[in-house]
Amino acid sequence: MSASALFSPELIQKYDVSGPRYTSYPTAVQFTPEFDAAAYVRHARENLERHGDRPLSLYFHLPFCASVCYYCACNKIITNNRRHAADYLERLFREIGMQAALHGGARPVAQLHWGGGTPTFFDEAQMSALMRVTGEHFTLLGGDAGDYSLEVDPRTTPPGTIERLRELGFNRISLGVQDFAADVQLAVNRVQSEEETRRVVDTARATGFRSVSLDLIYGLPHQSLASFDATLDRVLDIRPDRLSVFNYAHLPHLFKTQKQIDAAQLPAAAEKLAILERSIERLTDAGYVYIGMDHFALPDDELSRAQRDDTLYRNFQGYSTHSNCDLVAMGMSSIGMLTHSYSQNLKEAAPYYAALDAGRLPIARGVELSEDDRIRRDAITRLICHFHVGMDAFSKRWNVDFKDYFAQELARLAPLADDGLVDIADDEITVLPPGRLLIRLVCMTFDKYLEAPAERTRFSRAI
């Protein structure tokens, strides 16, 4: 698909409102402390009874970073004291044992991800121990039968680490780059040479990682169309299998490290839009498929194939090919998903440690999904992953009449159809190319919780 089909400045200007990224529905805003550890245990037991044949996806949040990137909105702990990692792992091992006992250790782990923070803050012995303890409690798949991925920071990845990670069973790797321009890197306190990035990518490929993913950010200080173009030259030369191009949202009142960024150095809105347009143009010209929500993939990548086959899924780790998994999340602030619930761990280290030291699961909040939540989640997931939803099949799946059930939503979609963002046919809603960059707006139509206008202000803009 051409960039010009996807990119319509007029429609972006008209429709670029704040909205959720829909890594869950209901979104985390609806999580409450009433959904506590006891509720989680009850849900996990029921889930095991009813859906115990489903494979598992495991997420581990490893929060430490040696230095802070000023744009960062992640939940992390900045430290140079490696002792913290040992203390953290001690608690994480307890949590692994408790979670495995709840979910049934015999279920195959189809997907595993280490996110951060910086997983490579941990030394090789600690990373090996984490994988060993995980394998003692859960059924890890050998021979690359699972998708086992992690985020790697080339600045804290000494030679030999990638080889070791491959031996541990990882087969997908994701690297933050953001921008190769030196002045941009300095302004955001993330100085990472192209050589460091290439060394990790080359080693990953040489050792048999089947997928390399890079993250870029547009809207950072000093960026311009020309400077970002130069970064894209170098990125396209690396040719990662997957690529994310995120919009930097400057929200220093919410993320205090962003106060270090001088707002006067940020590109103007028109420049940002031009950077986005050029990025889409260059990536699609280079053969990348726009998956949705800032993500691109090569056409033979599993994400692109899953989108073509209508099996793509979306969860807290972004797009995924594992729709049939229960997501068990471990580590502070991590978010898990069972068939009928979401749950989130405590966000700060001290209470997270205290809960586990007292033998309690560190669940802070969550939400139990109603039937209506699950119906809407299905509609939103199909739109955000496949850009279409078939009404008859949907009606049969949920035993409802789609057109009756979503009569108001269809009425709210009508103006978007008039503007060419969506097509509403007799049996199908299709998101047309100009609507794909604005997909969250289409999904918002089906979000019951956004009917209160105050709810809309909690989210960032799409572009």
Provide the binding-site residues for ligand SF4, judged by CB under 6 A. 65, 68-69, 72, 74, 76, 116-118, 153, 176
State the nearest-atom distance from the C-beta of 289 to ligand SF4, in Å: 26
Q: Which is nearer to ligand SF4, 79 or 430 (CB)?
A: 79
Q: Which is nearer to ligand SF4, 154 or 366 (CB)?
A: 154
The token pair at 322 is 């594992």
Q: Which is nearer to ligand SF4, 123 or 368 (CB)?
A: 123
Q: Going by C-beta distance under 8 Å and a sequence separation of 6 or more, which residues neighbour residue 75?
A: 61, 63, 117, 332, 333, 347
State the nearest-atom distance from the C-beta of 174 to ligand SF4, in Å: 11
Alpha-helical segments (H) within 239-360: 269-285, 302-308, 349-357
Between helix 269-285 and helix 225-238 the angle, nearest 10°, is 30
The token pair at 229 is 């173009």
Q: Which is nearer to ligand SF4, 158 or 415 (CB)?
A: 158
SS3 408: helix
Q: Which is nearer to ligand SF4, 76 or 314 (CB)?
A: 76
Q: Is 311 exposed, middle or buried (0-12, 13-18, 19+ CB in 10 A)?
A: middle
Query: Distance (Å, rounded) from C-alpha 291 to C-alpha 235?
Result: 18
Q: Which is nearer to ligand SF4, 215 or 447 (CB)?
A: 215
State the nearest-atom distance from the C-beta of 118 to ligand SF4, in Å: 5
Whether 437 and 6 have beta carbons less than 8 Å apart is answered as yes
SS3 350: helix
Q: Which is nearer to ligand SF4, 76 or 440 (CB)?
A: 76
State the nearest-atom distance from the C-beta of 176 to ligand SF4, in Å: 6
C-alpha angle 51-55-42 in degrees, rounded to nearest 5: 40
Phi-psi region of 460 (alpha: psi -120 to 50; beta: other; left: phi over 0): beta
Beta bridge partners of 172: 149, 211
Q: Which is nearer to ligand SF4, 116 or 366 (CB)?
A: 116
Query: Distance (Å, rounded) from C-alpha 77 to C-alpha 68?
Result: 9
Which candidate, 194, 185, 178, 182, places its Cα nearest to that of 234? 194
Q: Which is nearer to ligand SF4, 76 or 436 (CB)?
A: 76
State the nearest-atom distance from the C-beta of 72 to ligand SF4, in Å: 3
State the nearest-atom distance from the C-beta of 84 to ligand SF4, in Å: 14
State the nearest-atom distance from the C-beta of 256 to ligand SF4, in Å: 12
CB neighbourhood size of 346 (10 A): 20
State the nearest-atom distance from the C-beta of 178 to ligand SF4, in Å: 8
State the nearest-atom distance from the C-beta of 117 to ligand SF4, in Å: 5
State the nearest-atom distance from the C-beta of 171 to ligand SF4, in Å: 22
State the nearest-atom distance from the C-beta of 229 to ligand SF4, in Å: 23
Q: Which is nearer to ligand SF4, 116 or 221 (CB)?
A: 116
Phi-psi region of 213 (alpha: psi -120 to 50; beta: other; left: phi over 0): beta
140 DSSP 8-state letter: E
Q: Which is nearer to ligand SF4, 3 or 187 (CB)?
A: 187
The token pair at 249 is 């949202």
User: What DSSP line would sit under 84-110, residue for residue?
Assistant: HHHHHHHHHHHHHHHHHHHH-TTSEEE
Query: Distance (Å, rounded) from C-alpha 30 to C-alpha 373?
Result: 11
